[in-house]
Every structure is written in C-alpha cells, then in structure tokens.
Chain A
Amino acid sequence: TQLLEQSPQFLSIQEGENLTVYCNSSSVFSSLQWYRQEPGEGPVLLVTVVTGGEVKKLKRLTFQFGDARKDSSLHITAAQTGDTGLYLCAGGKAAGNKLTFGGGTRVLVKP
C-alpha cells in the first residue's frame, strides 16, 4: 500500500493542453517535493513546498500544498513535448531523513 497515492497513473495529452497531477495521503507531511524523471535518468527535483496552502509557480508549472499538508497538486499550463516524463511526489516527515515516494504519474505530451 502506497502511503502517497498519485493520480492519474498515466496521462496523454496534446501539446498546448493543460494537465493536473494529484498526490494524496492520509498522513501529514512536513514537506512535499515534486520530481521529474526522464527515461534512463534519475529523478530531478522541481520544487519543495513546506507550508500548508502554499502555492509555488515555476514558469508554466504550478504546485500547491494542501492546507492540511496531506495532499499536493501539480498543474501544467500549455504543455509542451519537453514536459513528457514521469512525475513523482515525495513526502518528508519532520522527524527522520527519509522521503516517501508516490507511485508516479507518467505524462506524455504529443506534438
């Protein structure tokens, strides 16, 4: 059983469309991170959110941390083919140094 559930598992859209990926848990996290992973490579950090209700924007990507710090979303506006990849959320607890990863959302942006 995944402590962090991501949905959907797979998303295929046309270039220019918008998409949202969700990361949900019954546990409270002190921080929530989003990583993107491309084939044959390790995950690369996109953003870290640490405050309930926090919204961060990174160009066309908008990240939100739920008020209760149990969930997060990633919204991509006007997706480009370069956004294709596996998106992973990861939750951290205040005590300890381990991150718990969600199962990932595979995004395919078609030209």
Chain B
Amino acid sequence: NAGVTQTPKFRILKIGQSMTLQCTQDMNHNYMYWYRQDPGMGLKLIYYSVGAGITDKGEVPNGYNVSRSTTEDFPLRLELAAPSQTSVYFCASSSSGQISGANVLTFGAGSRLTVL
C-alpha cells in the first residue's frame, strides 16, 4: 500500500519558470491537501479539496493553482516561480470522521523546491 506519493522529490527552478508537483493517493480518500513548510516552521495550507471536482483556497494560495479531476490525483501548479516559493511541499489526504469526527491526515514524503 503506497499511501500518498509525491513527485518530484527535489527540483530547482529559475525565477519565472512553471512546474507541477504531482500527488497521488491509493486510499480512496475524499480529502486532499497541499501544505508548504518553510525551514524550522510548521505547515501552512495552500489549497485543499473535499472531492473530485471541488477545490478551495487555504491560508497561502497566491502563486499556486490546483485541480482535482480524479479522487486519486491532486496536482499543484506553480505558474511563475518566485524565490518566496522556495520551500518543502507536502501533500496529504484524509477520510474525515475516522476518530470521533477528527480529521486525520496521511502525508507524502515531501517535495523540496528551490527557486533561484
């Protein structure tokens, strides 16, 4: 059981370039999330999705876009990369209501992005 798989693990971009971070999960979870984690910091929510065809903004959505055409996949798109987007990106998924209604997340291993 692979869980949540993210690709690539590492990427270096030049300012203004575009790229897509891929995320796929095989647990049939409805909810999926993208977080960014800056050095020594916690996680900030970029975008999330409660099901195929539905996406919504999190705390820090500027500069990013997402789509959710299938239950399994939730790619994150950076259109015009900026140095401020240098971070580690984590994709997560959940099936809400696992523990007394609490939302429990399963995370991928992360994608480290550097924008120079």
A and B held together in a complex: yes
Q: What is the interface of chain A, defined by CB distance below 8 A to chain B? A: 2, 4, 6, 9, 30-31, 33, 40-45, 48, 50, 88, 90, 92, 94, 97-104, 106
Checking B41, B45, B48, B107 against A42 with a beta-carbon cut-off of 8 angstroms, the contacting residue is B107
A106 to B92, CA, bound (A): 21
In the complex formed, the residue of A with least CB distance to B110 is A42
**Pairs across A and B, CB under 8 Å, 14 listed:** A31-B103, A45-B104, A48-B99, A88-B43, A92-B102, A97-B48, A98-B33, A98-B58, A98-B103, A99-B103, A99-B105, A100-B45, A101-B42, A106-B40
Chain A residues positioned under 8 Å from B101 (CB to CB): 30-31, 50, 94
Interface residues of B in 34-61 (CB under 8 A from A): 35, 40-45, 48, 50, 58
In the complex formed, the residue of A with least CB distance to B41 is A103
Cβ of A94 to closest chain B Cβ, rounded Å:
7
Cβ of B33 to closest chain A Cβ, rounded Å:
8
Known contacts: A88-B42, A88-B43. The answer to whether A97 contacts B31 by CB under 8 A is yes
Known contacts: A42-B90, A42-B92. The answer to whether A50 contacts B109 by CB under 8 A is no
Q: Do residues A31 and B45 form an inter-chain contact, with CB atoms below 8 A?
A: no
In the complex formed, the residue of B with least CB distance to A10 is B40
Say whether B94 faces chain A, with CB atoms less than 8 Å apart. yes
Say whether B114 faces chain A, with CB atoms less than 8 Å apart. no
A41 to B112, CA, bound (A): 11
Cβ of B58 to closest chain A Cβ, rounded Å:
7
A30 to B90, CA, bound (A): 24
Say whether B62 faces chain A, with CB atoms less than 8 Å apart. no
Checking A6, A44, A50, A100 against B102 with a beta-carbon cut-off of 8 angstroms, the contacting residue is A50
Q: What 20 new A-B contacts, CB under 8 Å, besides A6-B42, A50-B99, A97-B50?
A: A2-B42, A9-B40, A30-B101, A31-B99, A31-B100, A33-B102, A41-B110, A42-B108, A44-B107, A48-B99, A48-B104, A50-B100, A92-B103, A94-B101, A97-B96, A97-B103, A98-B45, A101-B44, A103-B42, A104-B41
